[in-house]
Amino acid sequence: MTDNARARRLAKRIGRIVAAAIEHEIKDPRLGNVTITDTKLTGDLRDATLYYTVLGENLDADPDFAGAEAALVSARGVLRSKVGEQIGVRFTPTLTFVADSIPADARRIDELLAQAKEADAEVARQATGAEPAGDPDPYRLDPAENEVDETDEAEEPR
């Protein structure tokens, strides 16, 4: 077993190697918009999981996740050999590619924040010109009630 710090360092290095190979050496056009976002390596350094995301050609186009996944699966052997050449460990880890859910999660969070903002604006619209149901300050005391009755203080000693 290795320590976790070494596994993290190797995971980062594997991610950089694979990203550079995708960008410069693999000539598959389906990998043009693929970005490696994170890499996890098991403690025994035998299995590496690479998380990726795919960007669309422009802001309005949907990304081609199926094409990118097929291209990554077909290039897995070449990428593994590149990793094996450059990391210098006894066993080259197997590479598993997983589509990263962070962009979809971020989009969902943005939608929820927009809904909350609309709800807050609706409450603010309803609150304009509204008056409280009871006293505006129910804890305010009349100044006359704050005066101490002199007869209460002048009690007879026991």
**What's the pLDDT tens digit per position in 21-52?**
999 988 888 888 888 999 999 988 899 999 99
Q: Is residue 153 part of a domain?
A: no
Q: Which two tokens stand for residue 27?
A: 């000539």
Q: Is residue 81 part of a domain?
A: yes
More confidently predicted of 152 and 8: 8
Confidence of residue 153 (pLDDT cuts 50, 70, 90): low
Q: Is residue 115 part of a domain?
A: no
Query: What's residue 155's pLDDT?
Result: 59
- CA-to-CA dists, residue 64 to 25, 30, 45, 70, 126, angstroms: 20, 8, 31, 10, 45
CATH number, domain with residue 70: 3.30.300.20
Q: Is residue 48 part of a domain?
A: yes
- The pLDDT tens digits of the residues spanning 107-136 come to 899 999 999 999 999 998 888 887 777 776
The sign one gets for the Cα dihedral 5, 6, 10, 13 is positive
| Residue 87: HSE in the Cβ half-sphere, 13 Å Cα cutoff | 28
Q: Which two tokens stand for residue 46?
A: 């035998």
Q: Residue 83 and residue 117: Cα distance in Å, rounded?
A: 47
Segments forming the whole domain that contains residue 68: 4-101
Mean pLDDT to the nearest integer, 61-73: 84
Q: Residue 104 and residue 106: Cα distance in Å, rounded?
A: 5
Where do we find the tokens 């290095």? 13
Is the predicted pLDDT of residue 99 greater than 80, yes or no? yes
Q: Is residue 93 part of a domain?
A: yes
Mean pLDDT to the nearest integer, 4-13: 90
What is the tally of structural domains in the chain? 1
Q: What is the DSSP letter of 25?
A: T
Return the minimum-mean-pLDDT range out of 27-41, 53-67, 73-87, 141-155.
141-155
Q: Is residue 145 part of a domain?
A: no
Nearest to 79 by CA among 67, 71, 89: 71
Tell me what percent of the residues of the chain surpass a pLDDT of 70.
85
Q: Is residue 111 part of a domain?
A: no
